[in-house]
Structure 1
């Protein structure tokens, strides 16, 4: 029985997740873009650590900066807050983990992200 449970959990993720990658992310609901600390990213969404307030299921504009050899590629997408969890190690700073699911992202931009991530190992713990 526990084997079935493990299979279900491991199949929960649709896309490979990557952490410890040099990608910058910014979010905007109204007003200006605000930077956040990227924890992990996949072609389906991303997770950040932040002290900003986010509400479940709210929609945000997302700016993803991919470093290139002598330049950068900036991807714009729309994302929905999918999960919010406390950052127990940084409770005194009122930080939390916020996971976003991409709701609108160009297929070409998904390819750019995917190709950039191929040079990194998946599921490397964030430090």
Structure 2
């Protein structure tokens, strides 16, 4: 009898999207390489030290035809994993879960993501 796996994700994940992510560390926002984003959070590749289960301010920059929309949210570090292909550079994968984000901002993100395919591999 085949085993059926249940999808645990609550939100669709998008990888190949032109959103910029800045995370506040040591009093300043720093650009981080976004790997994927969903309405529930995001994942980055970085050499910045983050602590598991700590909260950080997040700036999500969405490109528009006439500029950009900037969304501020609070996110908690949910998971940290080594980036084995970039160990010499001290890179790691850090997953954040949004813990404070306005409903309107979720709508803005959802509308932007709706024009992209879900789960396209990051290049």
Identify unmatched segments of 5+ residues in structure 2.
none
Alignment of 1:92-103 (within 5 A): 92-103=88-99
Distance 2:95 2:119 in 1: 16
Q: Is the 1:29–1:59 Cα contact (8 Å) retained in structure 2?
A: no
* Matches of 1:3 and 1:65, distance apart in 2: 41
**Normalising by structure 1, what TM-score?**
0.93
SS in 2 for 1:125: coil
Corresponding pairs, count: 123
Deviation of the 1:70 alpha carbon = 1.4
Q: Of residues 57, 61, 81 in structure 2, which corresponds to 1:61? A: 57
Distance in 1, matches of 2:48 and 2:99, equals 21
Equivalent-residue separation in structure 1 for 2:2 and 2:81 (angstroms): 26
Q: Does residue 126 of structure 1 match 2:111?
A: no
